[in-house]
């Protein structure tokens, strides 16, 4: 049976339960949590644990933490938070958008080997193994450094069989190029999830992605480029068009990040993520699921979105 690497060790896809497929406990920069912890604010672990305990109490069993090395990945923090909250956390290997000058020019296979070590041996010195791969491109498209990372993640996917989540930019239909690269590398597209897909209401483009075999990560709530209501309308439209079995709603939310002073030197009263979500991981339960129910979406379909689809995505079935 397929086993998934969580930050506490291997779990079965059947143990995932209600799953949010794209979240973050913390986003910062590589090493910042250890080198400049005061920028993250006081009581960091306590805040993160409280945030995930609230999620667990609401019925959230598992979260995929999409924080790569360049986003400040801290697997030991995730292990602590998972143990204390009871929420399964699956962490990624791969790369986001920040490819610093000193690493540019490394080969695709060099990075592939590093990603595979994260999966098979664990993040260095921790024993915590990655459970999913990630690559990214945004409004600039698939630049040369990001293509290196995308091909490295793709080759790691082919060798390990792990699924892959993909930060994309739907306004520019960037997934067309990303999927072209995955095809060239021999990736099984049924193990790929194209994320941030609800930053557009372009159903034709989203159905093209689905036609390639991919899952859609409708994982920005409440978001900024499209209203929360229209995000849910897009989700409902895709359900009505027969795609419910490959849709993964989530928030792209976080508990911890750099706390930025107000101009007068005071700290904000409520530190929120860049996506301005005061409900954090509970937004789905408080707003999206009730709206879907009002639109006539059945409980069986809601369970498919949050339980069955993550289980099949990770299980490879």
Whole-structure pTM value: 0.96
Q: Is the pLDDT of residue 275 over 50?
A: no
Q: What angle do CA 305, 306, 312 make, to 5 degrees?
A: 80
What average pLDDT does this structure show over 206-216? 98
pLDDT at 266: 82
Binding residues for Zn(2+): 22, 24, 134, 167, 196, 252
pLDDT at 224: 87
**61 closest CA partner among 42, 37, 88, 34:** 88
* High-pLDDT (> 90) share of the chain, %: 91
> What is the set of domains in the chain, with CATH numbers?
4-315 (3.20.20.140)
In tens, the pLDDT along 27-42 reads 999 999 999 999 999 9
Q: Cis peptide before 126, with omega less than 30 degrees from 0?
A: no
Residue 274: pLDDT band by 50, 70, 90 thresholds?
A: very low
Furthest-apart CA pair in the chain: how many Å? 57
Please check whether residue 137 is in contact with residue 143, taking contact to mean a CB–CB distance below 8 angstroms. Answer: yes
What average pLDDT does this structure show over 272-301? 88
pLDDT at 272: 44
For residue 88, CA distances in Å to 5, 9, 19, 91, 251 come to: 10, 10, 9, 10, 17
Binding residues: 22, 24, 134, 167, 196, 252
pLDDT at 269: 65
pLDDT at 270: 54
């Amino acid at each position: 049976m397929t086993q998934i690497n969580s930050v506490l060790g291997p779990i079965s896809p059947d143990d995932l339960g209600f799953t949010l497929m794209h979240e973050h406990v913390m986003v910062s920069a590589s090493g910042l949590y250890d080198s400049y912890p005061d920028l993250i604010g006081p009581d960091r672990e306590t805040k993160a644990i409280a945030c995930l305990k609230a999620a667990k109490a609401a019925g959230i069993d598992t979260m995929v933490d999409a924080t790569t090395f360049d986003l400040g990945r801290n697997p030991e923090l995730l292990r602590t938070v998972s143990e204390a909250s009871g929420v399964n956390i699956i962490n990624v290997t791969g790369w986001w958008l920040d490819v610093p000058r000193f690493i540019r020019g490394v080969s695709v296979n060099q990075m592939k080997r590093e990603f595979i070590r994260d999966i098979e041996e664990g993040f260095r010195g921790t024993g915590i193994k990655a459970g999913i791969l990630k690559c990214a491109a945004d409004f600039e498209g698939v630049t040369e450094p990001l293509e290196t990372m995308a091909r490295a993640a793709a080759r790691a996917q082919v060798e390990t069989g792990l699924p892959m989540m993909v930060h994309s930019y739907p306004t520019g239909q960037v997934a067309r190029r990303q999927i072209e690269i995955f095809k060239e590398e021999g990736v099984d597209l049924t193990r790929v999830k194209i994320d941030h897909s609800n930053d557009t209401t372009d159903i034709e483009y989203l159905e093209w992605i689905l036609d390639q075999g991919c899952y859609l990560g409708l994982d920005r709530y409440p978001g900024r480029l499209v209203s929360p209501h229209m995000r849910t309308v897009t989700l409902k439209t895709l359900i009505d068009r027969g795609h419910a079995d490959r849709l993964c709603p989530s928030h792209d939310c976080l508990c911890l990040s750099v706390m930025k002073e107000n101009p007068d030197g005071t700290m904000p009263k409520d530190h929120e993520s860049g996506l301005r979500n005061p409900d954090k991981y509970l937004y789905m339960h408080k707003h999206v699921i009730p709206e879907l129910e009002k639109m006539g979406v059945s409980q069986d379909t809601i369970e498919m979105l949050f339980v069955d689809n993550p289980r099949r995505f990770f299980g490879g079935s």
